[in-house]
Amino acid sequence: MTGVGSAEAPIGVFDSGLGGLTVLRALHELLPGEDLVYFGDTARVPYGTKGEKTVRAFAQQDAGLLVTRGVKMVVVACNTASAFALDYLREILPVPVLGVINPGVRTALASTRGGAVGVIGTSGTIRSLKYQAGLAAAGLSEGQIVAQECPLFVPLMEEGLHAHRMTELAIEEYLEPLRAAQVDTLILGCTHYPLLKAEIAEFMGPDVQLVDSANALAVAAQDRLGELGLLRADATAGREGELSFLLSDIPWKFQEIGARFLGKPIENMKTVGLDEMEEAGHAMEQL
């Protein structure tokens, strides 16, 4: 469904946990006058190790919760949910829905100089083959697409281990095959990975263009809202948009860790019960 709401309504963003805060940050920096509502399913994180059926059910509840809060757009700030549930959400939701994968693919295709394109992500995202299919549909051969699962990057970033030897070892282990393949463009196919951008760039070298999935998605959201006439009229008049946070659980140190992802303190935080999430998911089936 693609019903259109009010331009003054907030933009909804959801993720399985913390990683989507990098998307929220990119959206807030690009559209500072827009109100943003973030839902993190921190009680059931991670999604990247779960199967398609489970992720789709969770994504329906997550998106449904945001729709019940009156959002004008749902941004799926989770690569695994984008891979497994985006098409389904577009069928059942009454508002526009954007995911991470297509914007990342488009940006990579515009960045490549004709060499190989790499993509890194969680096991679920890489094994879904969605990034690979998008690149292949644009004409890249199988030999020009190099995909790599990097599951340890997520916990390393949540522990704040940027300059740690364990992170250096993980980067070497995961990215050496991409460097050996001489990729000229690398898609950071997980919303945690922008926090490692500097370290990844140093390892891959100056000739490799990194595609930040969070920034690509924010630009796509701005473009889509503009097409639909849903950008706030006062968003460019110095208005400071409100950020609010919904969580299915508040884990220890969430505010401390989340602030690193968001780049500013996290306030206005509330918890949502599983029963409310299930009701919201069921409500989307009735639309």
Residue 190 designated active-site = yes
Residue 150 designated active-site = no
Walk across the sheet containing 11-15 and list its strands.
97-98, 73-76, 11-15, 36-40, 243-247, 269-271
Task: Mention every residue, 6+ apart, whose C-beta is less than 8 A from residue 256.
Answer: none
Q: Which of 67, 78, 257, 277 is catalytic?
A: 78
* C-alpha dihedral sign at 285, 272, 27, 231: positive
Tokens of 70: 């009156």
Residue 280 CA to residue 186 CA, distance in Å, equals 37
Contact 149, 123 (CB under 8 A): yes
The runs of H, that is alpha helices, within the chain are 21-30, 52-68, 79-92, 101-111, 123-128, 130-137, 153-158, 165-180, 197-204, 213-228, 254-262, 274-285
DSSP string, 212-275: EHHHHHHHHHHHHHHHHT-S-TTTTTT----EEEEES---TTHHHHHHHHHTS---SEEE--HH
Tokens of 156: 């390393």
Distances (CA, A) of 18 to 23, 77, 150, 202: 10, 10, 17, 25
Q: Which of 171, 178, 190, 204 is catalytic?
A: 190
Walk across the sheet containing 183-188 and list its strands.
145-149, 116-121, 183-188, 209-212
Q: What residues act catalytically?
A: 78, 190
